[in-house]
Amino acid sequence: MKHRILTSCLIAAIAGLALAAQAQEPTAHWRFNQSSLNANQIVDTAGKNPVTVEGALSFGGTAAEEAMLVDLNNTKLALPEKVAEAGLPVDALTVEAWVAIERTVEWGQILSAAKIAGGLEKGWLLGTRQGNFSFGLASEGADDGDGKIAYARDHHTLEWGRWYHVAGTYDGATMRLYVNGMLADESTEQSGKILYGRSVDHQFGGGTDGGWRGWLYESAVFDRALPAEEIQARYAAKKDLFPEALRVALGPWVNRISKDAIRIGWETETPSPSRLLFSEGVALDREFGSAELGTRHEVEVTGLKPETLYNYRIAFNDAQGKTQLTRLHEFDSNFDYTAPQVDAKPYAYANEAEAERFGALATRILSESGIRKGYALIVGSGEGRLAYELAWRSELQVICIDDDPQRAQRVRRKLDDANVYGVRAQVHVAPLDQLPYSAIVANLILSEDLLTGARVPGKTEELLRVLRPYGGQISLGALPDFNETATPVPAAEFQAWLSAGPAMDWKTLPGNGTWATYTRPALAGAGEWTHQYGNATNNTNSGDTIAGGEMAAQWFGEPGPRPMVDRGTRAPAPLTANGRLYVQGDRRLFGMDAYNGTILWTLEIPDLRRANIPRDSSNMVVNGDDLYVAVRERCWVLDGQTGALKTTWLLPDQQDPDAMDWGYMASVGDQVFGSAVRQGGLFIGADGEWYDEAGEQSEKVVSAQLFALDRATGEKQWTYEGGAVINSSITVGGDRLYFVESRGTDALQQEKGRLGGELAQDRFLVAVDKNTGEKIWERPYNVSNATYVLYLMYQDDRIIALNSSDKWDMYAFGTGDGELLWEQHYSWLRDHHGGAMTHPAIIGGKIYAEPKIIDFKTGQVLADSPKRDHGCGTIAASDRVILFRDGEHGMWDYTEDTRARWNDFRPGCWLGMLPAAGLVLAPETSAGCWCAGQPMQSSVAFAPKAK
Amino acid sequence: MVKAVRYPVGNSSGTNKLRFAGNTGIDIMQFRFGFLLLAGAVLAALLPSAARAEWPTYRHDLQRTGVAPEPLPQGLKETWRFTAKHAPEPAWPGPARRDGWHKSDPLKPRMIFDWAFHITESGGKLYFGSSADDKLYCLDAATGEERWSFFAEGPIRLAPTLYQGKAYFGADDGYVYCLNAETGEEIWRHKAAPEDYRLPGNARIMSIYPVRTGVLVDNDIAYFCGGIFTFEGAYVCAVDANTGKALWKKKLRDSAQGYMLASADKLYVARGRVNPIVLQRADGAFLYAHDGAGGSFTVLVDDYLFYGPGKTGQIEAARSDRNDNLVTFQGNQIVVNQGRAFMQTDTEMSALDRTRYLKLAEEKNVLSDEHDQLKEKLKELKKAEAPTDAQKAEIDTLVARMEELSRAMLPYDKQMQECLQWKVPCKYPYSLIMAGEQLFCGGMDGVAAIQAADGATAWEAPVDGRALELAISNQSLFVSTDKGIIHCFSATAK
């Protein structure tokens, strides 16, 4: 991108000198600033068509002179609709604009004079198509009866917030699109006069997709096609008004720290002062300086209002010391998942010494267990003192259980007087040995009754039943100082109680047999989902053997629909490992407790977004307690428990941070694998794009380089550069990476990081050593085309490849030298709603590949897969069940051949439900769906019902 | 801890002014309304307090009309406010910002039953349940001082129903409670849940069978639903209101969230995001589910059920004996009072001759239904590759009749538009009720009275937060906000 801009600048400068004096005679010209505003109209300085503005008006922006903020959800910018009245050009046309788009939509119009409805396509429009500038026009020569618009389209992805000069020209024979003075695309589909109806939708913005958001500086229309030199000159004449740098070195990122406060962080290239400019609207009149001269900057913004949209930019110094501004970021204060704040008062009836003792104990328990969020059960509530001390010292939800209703009532009153009842602490009346809770739910289990000497808390097997695995802790005992009024439970009795239950690895305090802790380990039989398709082999199978059979809800709640990708369309899958669930919403991450749904942390990253995963790979994997997330040219390494940014790794060997993005991602053992994709190659999906059709939506994202890093240090181990590596094919199995790459001339030369029709050319199946990157073998991938999708999976020394073009074509290759072992071909279920894209799963000796079940060894079709209702996503499997959209959340337990359908929720349109961690985990993915059939929008998890 | 502030008479922090519409020239019609208002206020002031109307259940009655039986007096001033220890903790968050597939926004929340504390009033006492601290509160309606409170074992999300000296409510713990409304003592509790299974839900530990329909009490029978998950089973129950003893219990295939309504022979159950269902009142048997865009706001008036706010702010109207919707209004909420309907959108308030409008809509629907049936029949006939002469003749007849029907439908749109009586800009989009000839509506940090006759703003006052719930009783207006604050506006200090 930078290279292109520099080249265009040079050409434009030369052209500008030659053409500076040439007369320029637009038929309309608008300058979008306050001085051009006459009442509610932007004057037309060249013609007779002022722009009538309805709605919100804001001026500002990053250009040297002010521009107008266009938020087309709130603003309408209308021009005369009668073609004759508007004096629209007929024989030839140039339409140009200086524009900075802060948020694209699927079809965005900058300036249009078009009529598009049903089959009707007339007029012209300069705008955007997803992330690219485009110029469309209909002519009499290509009229098919009701008009037909052809489009020229830039294949570079525009950068949000960056200023561009965009121009479309038509000379009666050729349409041309220029971006920053350079020819971006041209089309000769049209000829003759421009075809209009009697009236057109003549406006800035508009269209059925609602509006893009951004800045308009200037726009003009000519009744002739300006030659390339003149376009370049016009670009050159004003380009210095518009800044180039838009990005800080890293970030920004946003952490919520309380109901009314956030922390925004970022890094600058060099140590320098940096400021956050923040406000409701775009005034950005609240300024938060980072006083320290360093590269890492963090500021706290307080006083936030609920349910409010804020905007912010970061002011920073570039390498030349010049102050630059980032693009306009948005912060939505709806996204608040912090625990309710309480103004805790001293616990009623506790004397000072008692409060000190209980407080010290609570502090010690919190510190030693490391558990500060989730659910704590106090089995045997005592007088609620421990509950109170835990509640206000942590973010735990504390549940006291007591079988004495009178005492429960007394404790409630005390906790209520202390301001913590309900929102942070509750008291339930229930038998201590028969707790009414879902299993494996509690993070921490304590007992005040035992502590104060009254009694043991029910049965250890019941405590174990409700204790969460992966670190849930029981911490119990009687301490001398706490036994004021009752006879302590004797040490021998306590020990006998511990021993009476199931075998548990209790730790007792040395020299004191009356305090014991138990930390529950991993759940035997629970699988993990660490990569998009389960693991790095892409077999879509967690290996979980627990989830299945008759299931009950385990938890439900946040995150709800607002932070999620609309309908989860082709979005990255959630992941789970070590008892945590990681969910990627729309530019934000959630770290959650898989067993009780507690949101451990959230992190908002404006540059975090990946879409069209069937034609790409996910941007997120987990290995142990580390979460790896690809954001632009870096991998962010996050602590799974806290969400803290531990470090970031840059793409290796890349000089220009704007040239390449981090594409593929996997982590196995001590390694992290990645790939470099040309900037603009990744699908972003900013506005509910569906990615369900052939054509440009099914272009495959390709990588120019593969590499491996040391997971501990981030140091590069090897790189591989061959052809254009198809991201959706990259598979890690055994000691190797397998992938399909295309080495056709077009593939190697293409600049956009995606392959469409070129994909059929010179394809090779390649195996490289995962430790060295050395190529082990390759073989031509001379099999069927893959218009829709191309997947590879690995299992048991075989590579299963799946192409879809007009049907499914499956191939099995040996890993020895890539020999073809068998192939199978079968019809699609449908060519829409994901029917041509479903990713298969390997389960035991079978490949579950809708609509067939295929023998892994022979390729023979064994059976049809069970039919399911209205679907749009793909499947997720374990060693027991397959999950899918069956209208709603659906499950097939193939070991019992039973079906479950949870009618209250609608899943998303890719892979949003996981059969792992011993559960079915289903974060909310319906988001913007109207979904009149499902009564709730909620994240939810299911667990097997106790037998 | 009670934080009640009692203001002396006349010391209002609001912009309390009652004015006749059009300060610069009162026309006869407006004057007549003003006179009626004044007369009503005087009459109300003369009534003994014991006879004053109550607000014993959510939106006043079992049909949730939101219409108080008597007008409020002039000169409303804030007389007290109660600030709860904790703001409400709603069960569900708001909707997505945008429907990207349909390119549609902003979307409306359709599970909006607990974003503020819901108030009922009887016998000079005001009641509400808290979703934050799980308590049912009883306040002195005259002073805002707490009289008593009662703990449930989970959030109480909907208003209690007051009936014959008792307070009935359900909670997320899966129980329905009956308390002595005077003392707060428990009379009985009934477990709606078939089992005591609790799980983390909506950030609390709660029953998998929460009672989120409130409790509808009529003729000594209390009706309610327990459970929100269809896969776990939800139940509609009828119990003896005096003893809590079960009369009948039916398993539902539906998720019940939002208030129940009742007619003489039917129960209407809101279902969160989706459309209400209708049950037989005698035994809970399922009758049908309504069509529409969903939402948990429901009002039953005469033979019509109104519900919404749909996807982007629509109120559906359906005949209460049919599942298909008759007509759709733009609006978040609606009040229907006798022959008029008042609709509230995000930016406007409007009044409609609803009797005529619905009559026209029904007539048009008859034509439209026939047109649709003929269209289907025509489609079938046209499938024949070589139609017989008889079929051709039938096609011609159908086409002719369809054209006739289309012509007949044409005048209706205009006539229905003419039913609009007035439409005014309105900055109070969150809540709407009515008393006498005034509409009371809540907005951001404020509440207002609008003249039903012409939409003129008669009175405005500030409140703290979004005024999401309103109630009128005991000659006072009660306003409940999302901050957990209840404001009382009265004509005189209590």
CA atoms in the 13 A half-sphere facing the CB of A674: 31
Last residue within a domain, chosen from B417, B442, B476: B417
Query: Which residues of chain A lie closer than 8 angstroms to B104, CB-CB?
Result: 210, 928
Residue B246 lies in a domain: yes
Q: Convert the pLDDT of each residue in A283-310 to its tens digit.
A: 899 999 866 678 999 999 999 998 899 9
pLDDT exceeds 70 at position A80? yes
Residue B338 lies in a domain: no
CA atoms in the 13 A half-sphere facing the CB of B197: 18
Indicate the number of domains in chain B: 2
| B221 and chain A in contact, CB less than 8 A | no
Of A397, A423, A566, Cβ closest to residue B99: A566
Say what the alpha-carbon torsion angle B264, B270, B276, B279 is, to the nearest 10 degrees. -40
CB contact under 8 A, B293 and A412: no
* Count of C-beta atoms within a 10 Å radius of residue A481: 12
Query: Which residues of chain B lie closer than 8 angstroms to A427, CB-CB?
Result: 153
- ∠ Cα A524 A529 A530 (to 5°): 115
Match domain A352-519 to its CATH number in 3.40.50.150, 3.40.50.300, 1.10.10.10, 3.30.565.10: 3.40.50.150
Residue B438 lies in a domain: no
Q: Which domain holds residue B396?
A: 371-417
Last residue within a domain, chosen from B283, B299, B315: B299
Last residue within a domain, chosen from B276, B299, B322: B299
Q: Are A874 and A880 spatial neighbours (Cβ–Cβ below 8 Å)?
A: no
Same domain (yes/no): B289, B406: no
CB contact under 8 A, A566 and B98: yes
Portion 175-204 of B in contact with A at CB < 8 A: 196-204
Fold match between A250-332 and A352-519?
Answer: no
Is domain A551-944 given the CATH code 2.130.10.10 in the classification? Answer: yes
Strands, sheet with B325-330, edge to edge from the N-terminal-most edge strand = B297-301, B304-308, B314-319, B325-330
* Count of C-beta atoms within a 10 Å radius of residue A260: 16
Portion 438-467 of A in contact with B at CB < 8 A: 438, 441
Nearest-angstrom CA–CA distance, A777 and A797: 14
Q: Measure Cα distances from A682 to A605, A754, A758, B307 in Å.
A: 17, 8, 17, 44
Check residue A242 and give left, alpha or beta (phi > 0: left; psi -120 to 50: alpha). Answer: beta
Residue B487 lies in a domain: no
pLDDT of residue A347: 85
Same domain (yes/no): B159, B251: yes
pTM for the model stands at 0.92
Residue B422 lies in a domain: no
One-character DSSP codes across A255-268: EEEETTEEEEEEEE
Quick one: tokens of A169?
A: 């020209």
Check residue A78 and give left, alpha or beta (phi > 0: left; psi -120 to 50: alpha). Answer: beta
Strand-pair category, A51-55 with A41-42: antiparallel
Q: Convert the pLDDT of each residue in A54-70 to its tens digit.
A: 887 888 888 888 999 88
- Interface test with chain A among B1, B85, B89, B101, by most A beta carbons within 10 Å: B101
Tell which wins on pLDDT, A75 or B285: B285
Of B105, B230, B255, Cβ closest to residue A73: B105
Strands, sheet with B166-170, edge to edge from the N-terminal-most edge strand = B161-163, B166-170, B175-180, B186-191
Same domain (yes/no): B136, B252: yes
CB contact under 8 A, A560 and B93: yes
Architecture of domain A250-332: Sandwich (2.60)
Same domain (yes/no): B202, B81: yes
Same domain (yes/no): B290, B396: no
Query: Which residues of chain B lie closer than 8 angstroms to A934, CB-CB?
Result: 273-274
Same domain (yes/no): B264, B388: no
pLDDT exceeds 50 at position A16? no
CATH code of residue B8: 2.40.128.630
Q: Measure Cα distances from A380 to A351, A408, A501 in Å.
A: 21, 10, 18
Local confidence pLDDT in tens for the 494 residues of chain B: 333 333 322 233 332 222 222 222 233 333 333 344 444 444 443 443 444 689 999 999 999 999 999 999 999 999 999 999 999 999 999 999 889 888 888 899 998 789 999 999 999 999 999 999 999 999 999 999 999 999 999 999 999 999 999 999 999 999 999 999 999 999 999 998 888 899 999 999 999 999 999 999 999 999 999 999 988 889 999 999 999 999 999 999 889 999 999 999 999 999 989 999 999 999 999 999 998 888 999 999 988 999 999 999 999 999 888 888 889 989 999 999 989 999 999 999 999 999 999 999 999 999 999 999 999 999 888 888 888 888 889 999 999 999 999 999 999 989 999 999 999 999 999 999 999 999 999 999 999 999 999 999 999 999 999 999 999 998 999 999 999 999 999 986 54
Q: What is the residue extent of each domain of chain A?
A: 2-241, 250-332, 352-519, 551-944
Match domain A2-241 to its CATH number in 2.60.120.200, 2.40.30.30, 1.10.3720.10, 2.60.40.3950: 2.60.120.200
Same domain (yes/no): B289, B404: no
Q: Convert the pLDDT of each residue in A597-631 to its tens digit.
A: 999 999 999 999 999 999 999 999 999 999 999 99
Sign of CA dihedral A553, A557, A558, A561: positive
Looking at residue A488, the DSSP 8-state letter turns out to be: P
Q: Measure Cα distances from A744 to A725, A741, A759, A812 in Å.
A: 12, 9, 8, 24
pLDDT of residue A157: 85
Query: Which residues of chain A lie closer than 8 angstroms to B85, CB-CB?
Result: 416, 419
Same domain (yes/no): B277, B413: no
Q: Are B14 and B467 spatial neighbours (Cβ–Cβ below 8 Å)?
A: no
Q: Are A873 and A907 spatial neighbours (Cβ–Cβ below 8 Å)?
A: yes
Q: What percent of chain B has pLDDT over 90?
A: 74
Confidence of residue A184 (pLDDT cuts 50, 70, 90): very high
CA atoms in the 13 A half-sphere facing the CB of A333: 20
